[in-house]
Amino acid sequence: MSITVTGKIERRNLGTGAWALVSDDGVTYEILRGADKDLLKDGQKAKVKGLVREDVMTMAMIGPVLEVNSFELLSS
Domain boundaries, the chain: 2-74
Specify the pLDDT at position 16.
83
Q: What is the pLDDT along the chain (76 residues), one digit of tens a residue?
A: 899 999 999 999 988 899 999 999 999 999 999 999 999 999 999 999 999 999 999 999 999 999 999 999 998 6
- Strand-pair category, 65-74 with 28-31: parallel
49 touches 10 (CB < 8 A):
no
Fold (topology level) of 2-74: OB fold (Dihydrolipoamide Acetyltransferase, E2P) (2.40.50)
d(CA 76, CA 67): 23
d(CA 63, CA 76): 23
Which residue in 4, 6, 15 sits closest to 62, CA to CA? Answer: 15
